[in-house]
Amino acid sequence: MRFKGSHIISMTSFSRDMIDHILETAEKMEPIALGKQRSDLLSGKILAVLFFEPSTRTRMSFETAMYRLGGNVLSLGSVDASSIAKGETLADTIRVVDSYADAIVLRHPREGAAHLASEFSTIPILNAGDGAGHHPTQTLLDLYTIRRESHLEGLKIALAGDLKYGRTVHSLCYALSLYGAHITMISPKELRMPGEIINDLEKRGAKVTEADSIEEAINEVDVLYMTRIQKERFPDPAEYQKVANRLKITNDVLKNVRPELRIMHPLPRVNEIHPEVDETVHARYFKQAFYGVPVRMALMALVLGAME
């Protein structure tokens, strides 16, 4: 299976075989990600990091992935300190960075930005989130977490929170449909999963249901995937206030659940998961953040042609 030179823009272009291959490669990377083994697999390779929106996990885990494999990172740094502040277009920025690096990881507030960038780039573009669109590398690490901490085959999962603007759940749903998952959607009515995505998921083989509350679904699922309400995507701040803090997990909510239940969250969290939950047997969100490193190591090794 050849990924060399590929752009990673959206999960819709991934087959199940492709995903399984990335997850298997990530598993081989784990000892290196943990610092237990050394590797020079990407020695001499440079990843350009262009983040037009804030990030902690995605940016730093891509950087860690490169350093752990002996590669280097070239950061645009703050957008205000770059020539974008003088009005340079994304297309021109990509054309220029294309000649400085071997791959580009891009986060941008505009939906479709990564696809646009791929049209001006001769090197792989990795979409690190484009507005409310897609976040495919997050999905791959989510799938990896589910595979390592629960099971992908026959999975029952509830997605709770902002299903309208949350790009991580959009990408994740598409991928889970390849595994025939049963997906329960839980959100305030203003933030429901877009109808066209639900239609697509059903066509692709997923079973989709809706629940009114976390309590209604929590005993029926293997994984509860919480998300943050995406305040920055609301056109009207008053609309955000109406839905903020509606869905929350506390130890009280978890009182009678099965020990096998896994709770995930792409992070950052705001108030959706009380810190007391961190100490329970259910919490997997910090481990999930770590799994971003082996998964992004696998992706970089594959798209740069260091592995097949």
Closest separation between CB of residue 43 and ligand CP, Å?
26
Closest separation between CB of residue 299 and ligand CP, Å?
15
Q: Are 115 and 9 in contact (CB under 8 A)?
A: yes
Closest separation between CB of residue 203 and ligand CP, Å?
28
Cα–Cα distance between 131 and 134 in angstroms, integer?
8
Active-site option among 25, 58, 64, 139: 58
The answer to whether residue 266 forms part of the interface with ligand CP (CB under 6 A) is yes
Cα–Cα distance between 277 and 288 in angstroms, integer?
15
Closest separation between CB of residue 179 and ligand CP, Å?
21
Instruction: Find the helix or strand (DSSP H, E) in which 26 lies.
Output: helix 16-33
DSSP bridge pairs for 174 = none
Any catalytic annotation for residue 203?
A: no
Any catalytic annotation for residue 58?
A: yes
Q: Are 143 and 19 in contact (CB under 8 A)?
A: yes
Nearest C-alpha neighbor of 105 from the set 304, 308, 307: 304
Closest separation between CB of residue 57 and ligand CP, Å?
4
Any catalytic annotation for residue 282?
A: no
Site string for ligand CP, 36-75 (x = CB under 6 A): -------------------xxxx-----------------
Considering only residues 88 to 127 of the shown chain, the ones binding ligand CP according to CB under 6 A are: none
Q: CA of 212: how far to CAs of 79, 188, 246, 247, 296, in Å? A: 41, 8, 11, 10, 35
Task: Work out which of 11, 104, 105, 267 binds ligand CP, going by CB under 6 A.
Answer: 267
Instruction: Find the helix or strand (DSSP H, E) in which 197 lies.
Output: helix 195-203
The answer to whether residue 138 forms part of the interface with ligand CP (CB under 6 A) is yes
Q: Which two tokens stand for residue 64?
A: 């860690």
Site string for ligand CP, 14-33 (x = CB under 6 A): --------------------
* Residue type present at position 16: R
Point out the residues that are catalytic. 57-58, 86, 107, 135
Binding site for ligand CP (CB under 6 A): 55-58, 138, 266-268
